[in-house]
Amino acid sequence: MPGAGKTTAGRQLAHMLGVPFADVDVEIERRIGCSIRSFFEQHGEVAFRQIEADTIAELVKRPAHVLATGGGAVLRPENRAALKANTVVLYLRATPEELYRRLRHDTQRPLLQVADPLRKLRELYRDRDPLYQEVAHYTVETGRPSVSHMVNMILMQLELAGVVDNQLVKSATLRH
């Protein structure tokens, strides 16, 4: 979901693991030469979602790295399939109310530029939560922890799953 901490936690996680970080939205803006908000206004959501799908298809083929997708990436079946098959997907789950608290002053997210952003977040959550759960290998309840606490929770989840080894998690936790 927007505001769940994908980019913030992703950057820190990549740093702690010593791997590159990529943000799908940043890569899209680099490709289109303008902000996503401007692109949305000029070309609409359908055109944006196609560029997003093309970008994800390329990024999931890169060697080991941390990838943050946009919140709507799960809307297309091809994105869900590419992410599920080629990556380890972590769903950073937060309630719409928590997301609203984080995003209430945000003016850059096109889907939240509406009269009632909390209602919109509730609708997005209702529609997207099942898709996030479908594609996720692991879910991390974000609630209100600090970013470092959330990243440590992610590292522990990855360690328990055997995705990263115990020594790496200990080293990453100590460095932070």
Annotated binding site: 3-8, 25, 49, 71, 109, 128
Binding site members for Mg(2+): 7
Question: 89 to each of 44, 74, 77, 81, how far by Cα in Å?
Answer: 27, 11, 15, 11
- Residue 139 exposed, middle or buried by CB count within 10 Å (0-12, 13-18, 19+): middle
Question: 171 to each of 130, 162, 176, how far by Cα in Å?
Answer: 35, 16, 9
Find residue 93's DSSP bridge partners: 141
Binding site members for substrate: 25, 49, 71, 128
**Which distant-in-sequence residues (6+ apart) come within 8 Å of 127 by Cβ?**
none
Binding site members for ATP: 3-8, 109
Task: Copy the structure tokens of residue 162.
Answer: 């055997």
